């Protein structure tokens, strides 16, 4: 009678190995799910992209882009004093209020004075002259609609 003295195979090592593989795989799956959850949470990368498309500002867009001499973000004419004007004059109200109003030097100064007295506009210091010059240069009073004098007309006498 032949005795089967083959020793039972050591299966212990093998099952140890495969359970380690299982642990690693489930670890990777868990990490991947955590990453995906964080990505879609508010404040994550994905939501940031959404906010950017809402404001219309794309990554790499120039915040102070000038096109045809106009500062696109504010609509103000690009000229000396524009930076000072944007910095001091577009925090309380839109730049449209400036663009819509055309005045001479005295009236721009009076408007600033009025805002200082009634709307808490701060002392503009040395910027005041720069801003007023910018305003009166780029937003002067519109010429009144008086037509040019007629020339070269042959007038005739009215007869009654």
List residues near ligand HEC by CB under 6 A.
88-89, 91-93, 97-98, 101, 111-112, 115, 119-121, 131, 135
Nearer to ligand HEC among residue 70 and residue 115 (C-beta)? 115
The least distance separating ligand HEC from the CB of residue 102, rounded to whole angstroms, comes to: 9
Two tokens, residue 123? 């002392």
Nearer to ligand HEC among residue 77 and residue 98 (C-beta)? 98
The least distance separating ligand HEC from the CB of residue 154, rounded to whole angstroms, comes to: 47
Nearer to ligand HEC among residue 44 and residue 99 (C-beta)? 99
Two tokens, residue 99? 């663009």
The least distance separating ligand HEC from the CB of residue 73, rounded to whole angstroms, comes to: 16
Please report the sign of the dihedral spanned by the C-alpha atoms of residue 65, residue 91, residue 138, residue 143: positive
Q: Which residue has the tokens 């209020």?
A: 97
Bridge partners of 67, per DSSP, are: 70
The helix (run of H) or strand (run of E) holding residue 76 is: strand 76-77
The least distance separating ligand HEC from the CB of residue 78, rounded to whole angstroms, comes to: 16
Find, among 85, 90, 96, the residue nearest to 135 by Cα. 85
Burial class (CB in 10 A: 0-12, 13-18, 19+), 133: middle
Please state, in angstroms and rounded to a whole number, the distance separating the CA atoms of residues 160 and 158: 7
Nearer to ligand HEC among residue 27 and residue 87 (C-beta)? 87
Nearer to ligand HEC among residue 70 and residue 99 (C-beta)? 99
The least distance separating ligand HEC from the CB of residue 85, rounded to whole angstroms, comes to: 6
């Amino acid at each position: 009678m032949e005795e089967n003295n083959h020793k039972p195979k050591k299966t212990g090592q093998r099952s140890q190995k495969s359970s380690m593989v299982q642990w690693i795989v489930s670890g990777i799956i868990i990490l991947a799910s955590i990453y995906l959850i964080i990505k879609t949470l508010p404040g994550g990368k994905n939501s940031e992209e959404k906010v950017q498309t809402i404001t219309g500002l794309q990554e790499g867009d120039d915040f102070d882009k000038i096109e045809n001499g106009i500062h696109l973000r504010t609509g103000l004419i690009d000229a000396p004093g524009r930076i000072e004007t944007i910095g001091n004059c577009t925090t309380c109200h839109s730049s449209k209020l400036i663009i819509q109003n055309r005045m001479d030097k005295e009236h721009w100064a009076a408007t600033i004075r009025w805002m200082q007295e009634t709307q808490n506009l701060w002392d503009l210091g040395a910027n005041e002259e720069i801003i007023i010059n910018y305003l009166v240069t780029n937003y002067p009073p519109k010429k009144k609609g008086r037509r040019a004098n007629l020339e070269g007309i042959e007038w005739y006498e009215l007869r009654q």
